[in-house]
Amino acid sequence: MTLIFNFMVKKTFYILAFLSFAFANGQTALDSLLQKENNASVPYITVEELAKKENIVLLDTREKVEFETSHIENAICVGYDKFKLKKVKKLLPKDKNTPIVVYCSLGIRSEDIGEKLQKAGYTNVYNLYGGIFEWKNKEQSVVNDKGETTENVHTFNEDWSIWLKKGVKIFEKKTSKKDKS
């Protein structure tokens, strides 16, 4: 009996150690990616902080097809490739101190848009750490273009989909030369 108990304790310990290691490395991997791709010019806001915030403007900096698949409720789609500051300024409050949170898939494209807003004089701009992927990974809800709660999240492409741990991954499949003929 003692032998079985010791085995179970050791097994439980190893499983917990592995899970702790995996979780810690997953966060470290995201930290590393964001440190590599971003320059931290726009301060981050965490999922937990954003979930508690009120009276903010939420800007989705992904493309329209990504936004239509799912977005954080009450977000405004401003795009990335076709982002027009003049057009977006019309959607924002006149008070440039109003809190604005930008997000994309992981927080890379949104930093670029956040920088443009800062240069335009907006003083309270934040970038959602880990973007909509981290939002969904932390079990927050997203809605589709009809305002209905959905599990679908557009992951941009298959490579980026590794960062989404919860939800249904939606992306355009790569086509080979054979598929095109």
Residue 141's CATH number: 3.40.250.10
What is the residue whose two structure tokens read 């085995």?
7
Question: 155: phi > 0 → left, psi -120 to 50 → alpha, else beta; which?
Answer: alpha
Residue 138 in this model has a pLDDT that exceeds 90? yes
- Percent over 90 (pLDDT), the chain: 76
* Domain of residue 10, residue span: 1-37
62 part of a folded domain: yes
The answer on pLDDT for 103 being more than 90 is: yes
Task: Reply yes or no on whether 104 is catalytic.
Answer: yes
- So what's the pLDDT on residue 5? 44
Q: Which strands form 76-77's sheet, in the order they lie side by side?
A: 44-45, 125-128, 100-103, 57-60, 76-77
pTM of the model: 0.81
Mean pLDDT of 39-51: 97
Q: What is the pLDDT of residues 56-81, one digit of tens each?
A: 999 999 999 999 999 999 999 999 99
Catalytically annotated residue among 50, 92, 104, 153: 104
Cβ distance 72 to 58 under 8 Å? yes
Contacts of 87 by beta carbon, 8 Å cutoff, 6+ apart: none
Mean pLDDT of all residues in 143-158: 96
Amino acid identity for residue 51 in this structure: A
Q: Are residues 81 and 157 in the same domain?
A: yes
How many domains would you assign to the chain? 2
